[in-house]
């Protein structure tokens, strides 16, 4: 594997800068909310093009994170977000849409002859760990003590949705399977809408309160990890980061996520997405984990 040795950048998909982040309108969002738009795409055609073992591993991880959205939704519902008309309406549609992302990822694996992941199902069935119970309690307590804590949730959500935009864009770029390419690009359209919500909520809540900025900074520095990290083994999380972002083009995307989040009030210091993901890639390389990218990516990553 040589995911970090390549210096030739993939054909870059133009990505939005901070100034281009779309404004958010909840009525428009609700009107546009629907199952993942697969019009004109036959998922069964994915079977004509094999998936590499590495690609399957990444898709399983992303499927899990999509289905695990319910967990994050539960945490948000236990905050003042429940009393916010816009946030409450958003969350219902958000969970609905993410579910269809997970189903599409699972279906592509199935038609290509791979067993979709069951991790998210198993995760919901197991008893909660004491550390998780404590974390949940801490989150509810902070939320009860100060409405400003909601800014932390919103900023956290913005980071994860923006990372998802880049992760799916990269998976599309790297895949030799045209159905994967098309479906991932459709998912990206939804993730952009989700990001717009969290970003404007985070910005609005941070700019009105220094306390909100401090709480968000402290919480993120102490607790943030790449999406899915609380559910999946570290090796899986590292592998996904290395596959998607372990080359020059990938690292540029991580830096873009960081710089967009750093433009939020009080978040000038933000560098966690690059920091955590690049550390994970180094661990993955040091462990000599086999990694194979499809032919299409031969000149862009390996
Ligand atoms: Fe999603
Ligand atoms: Fe999303």
- Confidence band, pLDDT 50/70/90 cuts, at residue 59: very high
pLDDT(262) > 80? yes
Ligand 2 centre distance from Cα of residue 194 (Å): 5
Q: How far apart are CA 3 and CA 180, in angstroms?
A: 21
- Confidence band, pLDDT 50/70/90 cuts, at residue 21: low
Average pLDDT over residues 132-153: 82
Which of 26, 139, 138 lies closest to 84, judged by CA? Answer: 26
**What tokens appear for 140 in the block?**
């509810």
| Res 227: pLDDT | 85
Q: How far apart are CA 213 and CA 259, in angstroms?
A: 17
Q: How far apart are CA 114 and CA 145, in angstroms?
A: 47
Q: How far apart are CA 148 and CA 206, in angstroms?
A: 8
High-pLDDT (> 70) share of the chain, %: 89
Q: What residues does the ion ligand 2 have nearby, CB within 5 Å?
A: 161, 191, 194
**What tokens appear for 93 in the block?**
């549609």
Q: How far apart are CA 240 and CA 79, in angstroms?
A: 31
| Res 144: pLDDT | 78
Ligand 1 centre distance from Cα of residue 279 (Å): 24
Asked if the 47-117+135-233 domain carries CATH number 3.30.300.30, the reply is no
Which of 293, 287, 288 lies closest to 247, judged by CA? Answer: 293
- Confidence band, pLDDT 50/70/90 cuts, at residue 14: very low
pLDDT(130) > 80? no
Cα 165 to its chain centre, rounded Å, is 7
Residue range 64-103, pLDDT digits in tens = 999 989 888 888 888 888 888 899 999 999 999 999 999 9
Q: Residues of 218-231 as b/e, b for ≥16 C-beta within 10 angstroms? A: ebbeeebebbbbbb
Question: Are the beta carbons of 301 and 5 closer than 8 angstroms?
Answer: no
pLDDT(37) > 80? yes
Ligand 1 centre distance from Cα of residue 193 (Å): 10
Task: Compute and round to an integer the Cα radius of gyration of the chain.
Answer: 19
State whether the Cα torsion 209-213-214-216 is positive or negative.
positive
pLDDT(18) > 70? no
Cα 118 to its chain centre, rounded Å, is 19
pTM of the model: 0.87
| Res 20: pLDDT | 53
- The secondary structure of residue 167, as a DSSP letter, is H
| Res 11: pLDDT | 44
Ligand nearest to the CA of 91: 2
Ligand nearest to the CA of 160: 2
Q: What residues does the ion ligand 1 have nearby, CB within 5 Å?
A: 66, 98, 101
pLDDT(150) > 50? yes
| Res 296: pLDDT | 58
Ligand 1 centre distance from Cα of residue 267 (Å): 24
| Out of 18-32, 61-75, 274-288, least confident range | 18-32
Ligand nearest to the CA of 192: 2
Question: Are the beta carbons of 44 and 108 closer than 8 angstroms?
Answer: no
Element (H, E) at 174: helix 150-174
pLDDT(294) > 70? no
More confident residue, 269 or 208: 269
Q: How far apart are CA 203 and CA 226, in angstroms?
A: 21
| Out of 29-33, 93-97, 122-126, least confident range | 122-126
Q: How far apart are CA 224 and CA 31, in angstroms?
A: 32
Q: How far apart are CA 258 and CA 166, in angstroms?
A: 12
| Res 75: pLDDT | 84
**What tokens appear for 88 in the block?**
């409450």
């Amino acid at each position: 594997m040589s995911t970090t040795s390549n210096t030739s950048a993939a054909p870059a998909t133009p990505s939005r800068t901070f100034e281009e982040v779309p404004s958010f309108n909840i009525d428009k969002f609700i009107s546009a909310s629907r199952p993942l738009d697969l019009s004109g795409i036959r998922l069964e055609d994915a079977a004509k093009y094999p998936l590499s073992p590495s690609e399957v591993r990444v898709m399983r991880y992303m499927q899990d994170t999509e289905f695990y959205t319910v967990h994050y939704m539960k945490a948000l519902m236990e905050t003042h977000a429940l009393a916010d008309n816009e946030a409450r309406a958003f969350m219902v549609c958000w969970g609905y849409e993410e579910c269809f992302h997970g189903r599409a990822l699972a279906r592509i694996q199935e038609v290509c002859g791979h067993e979709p992941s069951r991790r998210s199902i198993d995760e919901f069935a197991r008893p909660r760990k004491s550390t998780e119970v404590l974390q949940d309690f801490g989150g509810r307590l902070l939320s009860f003590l100060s409405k400003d804590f909601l800014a932390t949730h919103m900023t956290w959500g913005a980071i994860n949705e923006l990372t998802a935009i880049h992760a799916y864009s990269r998976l599309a770029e790297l895949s030799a399977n045209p159905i994967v390419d098309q479906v991932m690009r459709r998912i990206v359209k939804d993730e952009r809408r989700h990001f717009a919500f969290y970003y404007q909520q985070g910005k609005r809540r941070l700019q009105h309160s220094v306390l909100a900025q401090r709480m968000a900074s402290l919480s993120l520095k102490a607790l943030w990890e790449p999406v899915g990290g609380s559910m999946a083994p570290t090796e899986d999380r590292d592998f996904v980061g290395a596959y998607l972002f372990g080359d020059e083009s990938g690292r540029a995307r991580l830096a873009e996520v960081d710089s967009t989040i750093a433009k939020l009030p009080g978040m000038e210091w933000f560098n966690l997405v690059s920091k955590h993901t690049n550390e994970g890639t180094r661990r993955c390389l040091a462990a000599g984990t086999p990694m194979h990218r499809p032919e299409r990516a031969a000149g862009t990553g390996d």
